[in-house]
Amino acid sequence: MTPLPGRREKWALAALSVACFAYVTTEVLPIGLLTVIAHDLRRSPSETGFLVTGYAAVVVLASLPLTRLTRRVPRRALLTATLGVLVLGSLLTAVAPGYPVLLGGRLLIALTQALFWSVVAPTATAMFPPAVRGRVVARMAIGNALAPVLGVPAGTWLGQQAGWRVALAALAVLGLVTCVTVATLLPPAAAGPGGEDGGQVGRAPAPDLGRYVTLVVATVVGVTGFFTAYTYITPYLLEVGDFAPGSLSPLLLAGGVAGVTGTVLVGRALDRSPRGALLTPLAVITCALLGLHAFGAVKAATVVCLCLAGMAFSALAAAIQNRTLQIAPGGTDLASAGTSSAFNVGIAAGSMLGGALIEGPGVHSVTLAGAVLAAVALAALLGEPWAATGARSARGRAPGRRTRSAKPAGRTPSHTSA
């Protein structure tokens, strides 16, 4: 097993993971502070909730345009500027005199997050040999997994004790420390523009448009399936599982801890079997949601299925990012922007579908619908080899004849649209 080399690179990777933690916490924290902010600013819960939904919409819409616009900017400068705006936006939200300024600060941060998710994984993996790419992606994703378990509860507690402005100001401090650390430690090998330095940055080892499109579609469907159930897991546990309200926090914490565990465990599997590491979490999510549907009234089974689903989903998120870096048909930055948008579309679609199901068949149906969608995503990924454009173009050609898709990696366009 190849070790991760370089002390500076390891610290830079840790800083990028903390940056992921800061962004996820920033995005989701208003959910925990919803009632506090709404009361303080004299706004309805639905208006306050737009601080989250509007944020997500900006991330979806801005990812590809911003990534294309900044594709020639050196990554160290780009990430430093992105984190710098995160700090300024967080300070703006902390001192906002009213709702419009608070919303404006949130949308400003969302613009930087759209760009951040597009470049952070390609930048992180460029610091290390390709043999450890999966472990690098998984270690970076630990920050994502820790945010719901540690960042959001801590921020919610701080906001309830000292005020929501203090909680947002604390995020600005965290962003500042991360910004300085990234600017200082990011090595030259990963600091250049995506695909412009002739190295690993910006290019995938096995670019394939057909496989990438399949991955994007499966991401939308699979994430929609998970969030169809998970968005409404609290009413599901109360109504179907008959859990006491006081047990919800420990249950959700258990699912979050399982998610961190899944992120840690999937790292080595990503390097050994990238497709297997992608297919297995989807299969586990399908089975876990089916288990919740069939045995939701059995408390022990519910806890096991909840933890399995949380573990598998965190592993799936890392596997999707890793697979994107392997098969991106153009620049890895643009491809990462595409899968990031697909992920956010899935979150929004799952929330809407789950809400519609609760109003119709009832809360018991969300787990079954989620399982069906996860199974569809799994089937799509199982068919990925047949979607490979390179494999199709090679059929029927005489051996030894070069195809368009077989050109040397060094000549692969770095900035074509995914």
> What confidence tens digit (pLDDT) does each residue in 260-311 have?
999 989 987 888 888 899 999 999 999 999 999 999 999 999 999 999 999 9
What pLDDT does 204 receive? 66
Q: Return the SS3 of 97.
A: coil
Token pair of 224, please?
A: 């929609």
Going 105 to 107 to 112 to 113, the CA torsion angle's sign is positive
What is the chain's mean pLDDT, rounded? Answer: 85
Tell me which DSSP letter residue 263 carries.
Answer: H
> What confidence tens digit (pLDDT) does each residue in 59-107 have?
889 988 998 898 888 888 999 999 999 999 999 999 999 999 999 999 9
What's CA 164's distance to the chain center, in Å?
25
What pLDDT does 34 receive? 80
CATH superfamily of 7-190: MFS general substrate transporter like domains (1.20.1250.20)
Helices (H), 206-298: 209-230, 233-239, 248-272, 274-295
Contact between 270 and 319 (Cβ < 8 Å): yes
What pLDDT does 29 receive? 87
What pLDDT does 187 receive? 79
Q: Where exactly are the structural domains of the chain?
A: 7-190, 209-389
- Give the closest residue to 111 by CA, choosing from 167, 60, 152: 60
Write the CA distances from 363 to 225, 234, 241, 356, integer angstroms.
14, 10, 11, 10
d(Cα 273, Cα 271) in Å, to the nearest integer? 6
d(Cα 162, Cα 329) in Å, to the nearest integer? 48
- In the predicted model, residues of the chain with pLDDT beneath 50 are 1, 195-200, 391-418
d(Cα 308, Cα 296) in Å, to the nearest integer? 14
CATH topology of domain 209-389: Growth Hormone; Chain: A; (1.20.1250)
Residues 6+ apart with CB under 8 A from 239: 363, 364
Q: Return the SS3 of 139.
A: helix
Degrees (nearest 5) of the Cα angle 395, 401, 404? 75
What pLDDT does 410 receive? 37
